[in-house]
């Protein structure tokens, strides 16, 4: 029987990848392909043709040269915890997993760390903490997501409200370009006004411009103390109003999270916790943390915030006394997404508005829920104006062009834009939000983005069809 050209080429590429990476790090078996066919975005599933696990930038560069020459689609993948479908290999082709690139090299003299993309974020945080140092960005998924994925998404997390997001810590990146060259984007310095900022262009580019193979991060001294309180509110919008009042009064908490009561009930039962008494007269809670090195100052700050919040119809405040109570509260917050997803709130949106517009966003979302017949729960990084909105619609499974869902999401994003916000604060656009980029940008801005993509990736092989479609 004659072997087709396509099949022959596939076998040739496979052999070339094996020659570069070694037999053990090139996968085509069904189980491996299935393991990399999905992320945490709804129920989407796309099989790659080949999974590659390079150990070095040089190996990866050599494989990219082959992919570029033969126009093979390439999808970079971290831990697959993404919520916008960025790591989904929707065009098949090669999937690059960074799990073998996981070294950490701490530079204590300069308060910096050079880390490879396959390091789990919490592992990195613990490694630097052992040296008294602090890497603050802490997505709720930090126990499983990779630092490379965090860079690609410009991730945030609870601490972003005081310490900023990933972009605020990235000093320099080693990147393998889609064409197979290896570059460094900047220098390992705290200030840099030398030419265009390629480092920041790469951060948040969702694996569409290059494959990040080394990351140089700035570190801080680790704060000594953290105090945590949980504040119940009788009214969800009042909780939203209280958020901006805290900052206007001159406080900067190290975390300020909102959890609507339904989400709290669901997650409490999911993790079997009774630490928070849930009563029917409450609509939402704020989790507020302050950190620093002087306990007296922190206590005064907490008391002053608590006093301020009495103006917003809050209930009895719960102060987490010990490490166990703090861990319990954070466990509840960090597992909300997982719990509500399992409860049927499958669609998650990552809206962000100017902080003072939070009450209007909350009100608008509830009205949209009534108009478009969906159930909704809100939670998230309220201190940043970043509200995750989870939607439940009977019989609905997210699909990229589900006619039941698109009008509702469009209305939501138009509301967010009207309030001066944008459609993703930290999860990225990926595959599933690109439909809505036109709400945020005119053709002119989108064409500029496409031009940048063309410059980095002339053959459009790297994570093609993510963020926008190339024309």
Ligand X SMILES: Cc1cc2nc3c(=O)[nH]c(=O)nc-3n(C[C@H](O)[C@H](O)[C@H](O)COP(=O)(O)OP(=O)(O)OC[C@H]3O[C@@H](n4cnc5c(N)ncnc54)[C@H](O)[C@@H]3O)c2cc1C
Binding stretches for ligand X (CB under 6 A): 39-40, 75-83, 86-87, 98, 117, 139-141, 145-146, 148-150, 152-153, 155-157, 206-207, 211-212, 337-338, 426-427, 430, 463
Task: CB nearer to ligand X: give 73 or 149.
Answer: 149
Task: CB nearer to ligand X: give 117 or 240.
Answer: 117
* Cα 223 to Cα 294: distance, rounded to the nearest angstrom: 9
* Cα 428 to Cα 154: distance, rounded to the nearest angstrom: 8
* Cα 191 to Cα 389: distance, rounded to the nearest angstrom: 37
We find the least distance from the C-beta atom of residue 2 to ligand X, in angstroms, to be 37
**DSSP label at residue 423:** S
Task: CB nearer to ligand X: give 338 or 414.
Answer: 338
Cα 197 off chain centre by: 22
* Cα 446 to Cα 438: distance, rounded to the nearest angstrom: 8
We find the least distance from the C-beta atom of residue 287 to ligand X, in angstroms, to be 13
* Cα 26 to Cα 222: distance, rounded to the nearest angstrom: 40
* Cα 418 to Cα 89: distance, rounded to the nearest angstrom: 34
| Residue 15 Cα distances to 61, 93, 180, angstroms | 16, 15, 18
We find the least distance from the C-beta atom of residue 279 to ligand X, in angstroms, to be 27
We find the least distance from the C-beta atom of residue 61 to ligand X, in angstroms, to be 13
Sign of CA dihedral 245, 251, 257, 262: negative
We find the least distance from the C-beta atom of residue 408 to ligand X, in angstroms, to be 22
* Cα 256 to Cα 240: distance, rounded to the nearest angstrom: 11
Task: CB nearer to ligand X: give 77 or 285.
Answer: 77
We find the least distance from the C-beta atom of residue 96 to ligand X, in angstroms, to be 8
* Cα 243 to Cα 247: distance, rounded to the nearest angstrom: 7
Task: CB nearer to ligand X: give 40 or 237.
Answer: 40
Alpha helices in 373-461 (DSSP H): 406-418, 437-440, 443-456
Contact 362, 429 (CB under 8 A): no
We find the least distance from the C-beta atom of residue 416 to ligand X, in angstroms, to be 17
* Cα 105 to Cα 174: distance, rounded to the nearest angstrom: 14
Task: CB nearer to ligand X: give 70 or 167.
Answer: 167
We find the least distance from the C-beta atom of residue 78 to ligand X, in angstroms, to be 2
Q: How many CA atoms lie within 13 A of 367 on its CB side?
A: 10
């Amino acid at each position: 029987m004659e072997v087709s050209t396509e099949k022959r080429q596939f076998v040739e590429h496979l052999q070339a990848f094996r020659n570069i990476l070694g037999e053990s790090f090139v996968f085509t078996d069904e189980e491996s392909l299935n393991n990399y066919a999905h992320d945490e975005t709804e129920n989407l599933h796309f099989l790659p043709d080949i999974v590659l696990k390079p150990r070095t930038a040089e190996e990866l560069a050599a494989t990219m040269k082959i992919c570029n020459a033969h126009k093979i689609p390439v999808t970079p993948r971290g831990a697959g915890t993404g919520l916008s479908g960025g790591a989904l290999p929707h065009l098949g082709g090669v999937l690059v997993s960074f799990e073998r690139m996981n070294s950490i090299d701490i530079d204590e003299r300069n308060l910096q760390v050079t880390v490879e993309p396959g390091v789990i974020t919490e592992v990195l945080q613990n490694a630097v903490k052992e040296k008294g140092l602090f890497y603050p960005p802490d997505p709720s998924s930090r126990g499983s997501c990779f630092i490379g994925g965090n860079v690609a998404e410009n991730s945030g997390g609870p601490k972003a409200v005081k310490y900023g997001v990933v972009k605020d810590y990235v000093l320099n990146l080693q990147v393998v370009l889609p064409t197979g060259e290896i570059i460094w984007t900047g220098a390992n310095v705290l200030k840099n006004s030398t030419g265009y900022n390629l480092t920041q262009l790469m951060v948040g580019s969702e694996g569409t411009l290059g494959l990040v193979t080394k990351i140089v991060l700035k570190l801080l001294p680790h704060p000594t103390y953290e105090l945590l309180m949980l504040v119940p509110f009788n009214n969800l919008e009042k909780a939203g109003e209280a958020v901006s009042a805290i900052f206007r009064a001159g406080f900067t908490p190290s975390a300020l999270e909102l959890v609507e009561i339904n989400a709290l009930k669901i997650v409490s039962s999911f993790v079997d916790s009774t630490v928070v008494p849930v009563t029917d007269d409450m609509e939402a809670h704020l989790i507020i943390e302050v950190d620093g090195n002087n306990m007296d100052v922190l206590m005064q700050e907490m008391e002053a915030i608590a006093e301020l919040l009495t103006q917003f119809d809050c209930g009895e405040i719960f102060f987490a006394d010990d490490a166990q109570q703090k861990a319990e509260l954070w466990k509840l917050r960090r597992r909300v997404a997982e719990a509500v997803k399992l409860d049927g709130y499958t669609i998650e949106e990552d809206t962000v508005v100017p902080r003072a517009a939070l009450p209007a966003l909350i009100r608008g979302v509830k009205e949209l829920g009534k108009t478009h017949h969906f159930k909704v729960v809100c939670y998230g990084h309220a201190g940043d104006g970043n509200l995750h909105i989870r939607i439940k619609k009977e019989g609905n499974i997210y699909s990229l062009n589900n006619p039941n869902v698109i009008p509702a999401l469009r209305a939501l994003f138009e509301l967010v834009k009207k309030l001066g916000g944008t459609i993703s604060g930290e999860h990225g656009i990926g595959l599933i939000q690109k439909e809505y980029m036109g709400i945020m940008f005119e053709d002119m801005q989108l064409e500029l983005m496409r031009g940048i993509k063309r410059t980095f990736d002339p053959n459009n092989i790297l994570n093609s069809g993510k963020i926008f479609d190339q024309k």
